């Protein structure tokens, strides 16, 4: 349960690649797709969503492509995930107040609220800078700072 979809996975791979490129470089979709091993056509749709949510800027026509709209340290993993997967909602109950008619008496309700809070807090504390190009032993480096 609680699985990220493949779309979300691909999205993260793709944007981490962008975060590892020079900031002012416009990257081709085809390059990104090849580098992170994702079907280009599918990645295209994902980056359209990124573009709409303002995480990346897109340029059409010859010489076009994508680049980050902000610096990597100003884009959180939470933003990235929610841009393509929608808001984090462990249960339908907690998408919005009043959504669930059992709201008033359901004792599990606050549990899901808490789960939601914890995940959002964790993901919002991680930026693309943390995730990109940690050349020297990325995992342990990341692990040390984050956990």
Q: Which stretches of the chain bind a copy of itself, using CB under 8 A?
A: 1-5, 8-9, 12-13, 16, 77, 81-82, 85-93, 102, 105, 107-112, 114-115, 118-119, 122-123, 126, 130-132, 134, 138-139, 142-143, 146-147
Nearest-approach distance from CB 115 to a copy of itself, in angstroms = 6
Give the whole-angstrom CA distance, residue 126 versus residue 115.
Answer: 18
Q: Answer whether 77's CB lies under 8 Å from 12's CB.
A: yes
State which residue, 33 or 75, has the beta carbon closest to DNA: 33
Give the whole-angstrom CA distance, residue 39 versus residue 139.
Answer: 26
* Residue from the set 14, 18, 55, 66 that interacts with DNA by CB under 7 A: 66
* Of 137, 117, 38, the residue nearest 47 (C-alpha): 38
Q: Answer whether 48's CB lies under 8 Å from 11's CB.
A: no
Give the whole-angstrom CA distance, residue 41 versus residue 88.
Answer: 26
Q: Does residue 95 touch DNA according to CB under 7 A?
A: no
Q: Which range touches DNA (CB under 7 A), out of 12-20, 50-58, 71-79, 132-140?
A: 50-58
Q: Does residue 37 touch DNA according to CB under 7 A?
A: no
Strand partners, 68: 56
State which residue, 64 or 110, has the beta carbon closest to a copy of itself: 110
Q: Answer whether 93's CB lies under 8 Å from 57's CB.
A: no
Interface with DNA (CB under 7 A): 5-7, 28-30, 39, 41-42, 44-45, 47-48, 51-52, 58-66
């Amino acid at each position: 349960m609680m699985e990220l979809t493949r779309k979300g996975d691909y999205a993260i791979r793709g944007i981490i690649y962008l975060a590892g490129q020079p900031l002012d470089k416009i990257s081709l979709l085809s390059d990104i797709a090849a580098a992170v091993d994702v079907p280009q056509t599918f990645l295209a749709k994902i980056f359209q969503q990124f573009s709409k949510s303002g995480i990346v800027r897109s340029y059409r026509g010859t010489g076009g492509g994508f680049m980050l709209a902000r610096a990597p340290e100003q884009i959180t993993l939470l933003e990235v995930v929610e841009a393509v997967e929608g808001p984090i909602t462990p249960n339908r109950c907690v998408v919005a107040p009043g959504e669930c008619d059992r709201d008033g008496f359901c004792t599990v309700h606050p549990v899901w609220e808490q789960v939601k809070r914890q995940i959002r807090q964790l993901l919002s504390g991680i930026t693309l800078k943390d995730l990109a190009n940690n050349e020297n032993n990325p995992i342990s480096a990341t692990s040390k700072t984050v956990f």
